[in-house]
Amino acid sequence: MSNTAWRNRAASKSARSKASLPAPDRARAGDLADRATQVTAEWAPTAARVLLGLVLAWFGYHELMAPQLWTGYVPVIAPGSGLALAAVLVHGWVLLMLAVAITAGVVLRLAAAVAALLLVQIVVTLTITGGLTDLTLRDVGVLGLAVCLTGATRQRALLTA
């Protein structure tokens, strides 16, 4: 079926469905849908910010608190070395800073861009070392969130003062 035919069919189905409701109910349903759309448009970027911040904060905190458990992820450097530990600590610190900046909305787009670069590095490293797996693709999703926030212009609850 062509796109136009499919759209026409969907539109007539939607119209039939609306027509079956009494007029006041139809208006109320329309208002509710409009309001839900408005609230979502206003707050969804904020929710994305908080959720991405939560992910980064969780990993940052654990890398800082127990770096010895994360050295296996450091590419090239031997996991048991002090250099690997230091690399994990620096990585954890950067993640924590990005988490705070993104959640609070301080220099949001810059922080989101840095987070996106960091996630690109993580995805590439995991893909090289282990191939495309469920873990790698989960990080691709988080990368998508970070990329979205680099272009976000409408935000609520930003700390700009």
Partner 1 sequence: MRIAGDTIGPRGIAVLAVSAVVGVLLGLHGWSGRHNGLPSTLAGSGPRPSAPARVSRPARSPATTSPATPSPAPSPGPKLSSQSYASYSYQVWPGPLSTAAKAAATGLVIAVHRHGSGIMVTAGVAGRPAPTPRFYPAGAKVFVVEAALGDDSGNSDYNLGDDGLVVTNSQERILQ
Nearer to partner 1, 18 or 138 (CB): 138
Task: Give me the least distance between CB of 40 and partner 1, in Å please.
Answer: 24
Give me the count of residues in the chain: 161
Task: Give me the least distance between CB of 78 and partner 1, in Å please.
Answer: 7
Nearer to partner 1, 101 or 119 (CB): 101
Task: Give me the least distance between CB of 56 and partner 1, in Å please.
Answer: 12
Positions in the binding site for partner 1 (CB under 8 A): 60-61, 63-73, 75, 78-80, 85, 89, 92-93, 96-97, 100-101, 104, 106-110, 113, 126, 129-131, 133-136, 159-161
Task: Give me the least distance between CB of 103 and partner 1, in Å please.
Answer: 10
Nearer to partner 1, 45 or 70 (CB): 70
Distance of CA 100 to the CA centre of its chain: 15
Nearer to partner 1, 26 or 140 (CB): 140
